[in-house]
Amino acid sequence: MRISKYLLYVAILIILLTLPFYTGVYLLNVMDIILIYIAMALSWDMLLRSGQISFGVAGLFGVGGYAAVLLNLNTGMNPLICIVMGGLAAGILAWLVGIAVLQLRGMYFAIVTLALAEIFRVIIRNLPDLTGGPEGTILPSAIFAGNSARTYWLAIAVAVVSVIASELFRRTRIHFALTSIRNDEIVAKSSGIDVFKYLVFIFVITSAIQGMTGGAYAHIYGFVSPEGSFSVDFTLLPIAMALLGGMHSTWGPVVGAVVLGVISEFLKLQIPYGHLLVYGLIIVITILFFPQGILGTIGQRLKNRRLRGSP
């Protein structure tokens, strides 16, 4: 059973990797966005597993984008390294915010993260010499000179990193720690878990992934701006995707990202202005009716059928 599962994964991976050889630029661009959102939805979910919500995904995303672009412009470093540096910058910021704020959790933490995107946007807008101010900064050329195959493989790399991170979080002791903290912090503490340290750690790692993703996005599209890079899209969509697909899992956010990514392409063509509304509605509807998302509900139905089947 396990071997065939791995073979399936390998087959899918091969198909994905060789996509540029038999599809056109449009599909590759759509895939780029979906892969980016996979990374974002996964990283948001990883923090959710500890019981904390971050509404600041867009903030860390934008910071990573700016860091990656500015570093490249000012030092000429290889864009790939700059993207990783973008992740590092976001991670460091998350560490600073985390150690200040994660002693009080729940809604205090959530609302602080809600303000993050706005804060970073204001700071960047007010340092025009460094950041290009309200109009943003343009890169002389997108990464790989806009070669869509290479760009696509970059996006795959980013998504793969987040999938690996998510699986690591599920298979190592981190999974036990997260589940325990989420369930009951006092019991977790009494089991020897240093709750604060774990929460800061998870916040930093997931923020670093979001920053790295932001860096990749910035280099793929070749520009950053206070409005564009910190757009509420980058917070709203990952949340809707993770909730829709099924939280607390690796494949849930992936499924959610694919489904919503495809839908959003259609929506953008049909309703140019209202598509964000759909994501908000998805969040409201899933919380009210399907808190476990697509995968969770399917999993529950299968479990019920199995239980009913056994005498």
- Contact residues for other proteins, defined by CB under 8 A: 48, 51, 53, 55, 97, 100-101, 103-104, 106-108, 110-112, 114-115, 118-119, 122-123, 125-126, 172-173, 176-177, 179-180, 183-184, 186-195, 232, 236, 239-240, 243, 248, 273-274, 276-277, 279-284, 287-288, 291
Give yes or no for a contact between 119 and 237, defined as CB atoms under 8 angstroms apart: no
User: Between 1 and 307, whose beta carbon lies closer to other proteins?
Assistant: 307
Rounded least distance, CB 61 to other proteins, Å: 17
Rounded least distance, CB 103 to other proteins, Å: 3
User: Between 148 and 286, whose beta carbon lies closer to other proteins?
Assistant: 286
Rounded least distance, CB 275 to other proteins, Å: 9
User: Between 146 and 291, whose beta carbon lies closer to other proteins?
Assistant: 291
Rounded least distance, CB 305 to other proteins, Å: 15
| DSSP structure string for the chain | -HHHHHHHHHHHHHHHHTGGGTS-HHHHHHHHHHHHHHHHHHHHHHHHTTT---S-HHHHHHHHHHHHHHHHHHH---HHHHHHHHHHHHHHHHHHHHHHHTTS-HHHHHHHHHHHHHHHHHHHHT-HHHH-GGG-EE-SS-GGGG-HHHHHHHHHHHHHHHHHHHHHHHHSHHHHHHHHHHH-HHHHHHTT--HHHHHHHHHHHHHHHHHHHHHHHHHHHTEE-HHHHT-THHHHHHHHHHHHH-SSSSHHHHHHHHHHHHHHHHHHHH-TTTHHHHHHHHHHHHHHH-TTHHHHHHHHHHHHHHHHH--
Rounded least distance, CB 38 to other proteins, Å: 20
Rounded least distance, CB 272 to other proteins, Å: 11
User: Between 68 and 117, whose beta carbon lies closer to other proteins?
Assistant: 117
User: Between 104 and 149, whose beta carbon lies closer to other proteins?
Assistant: 104
CB atoms closer than 10 angstroms to residue 99: 15
User: Between 46 and 212, whose beta carbon lies closer to other proteins?
Assistant: 46
Rounded least distance, CB 53 to other proteins, Å: 5
User: Between 142 and 168, whose beta carbon lies closer to other proteins?
Assistant: 168
First to last CA, the chain: 26
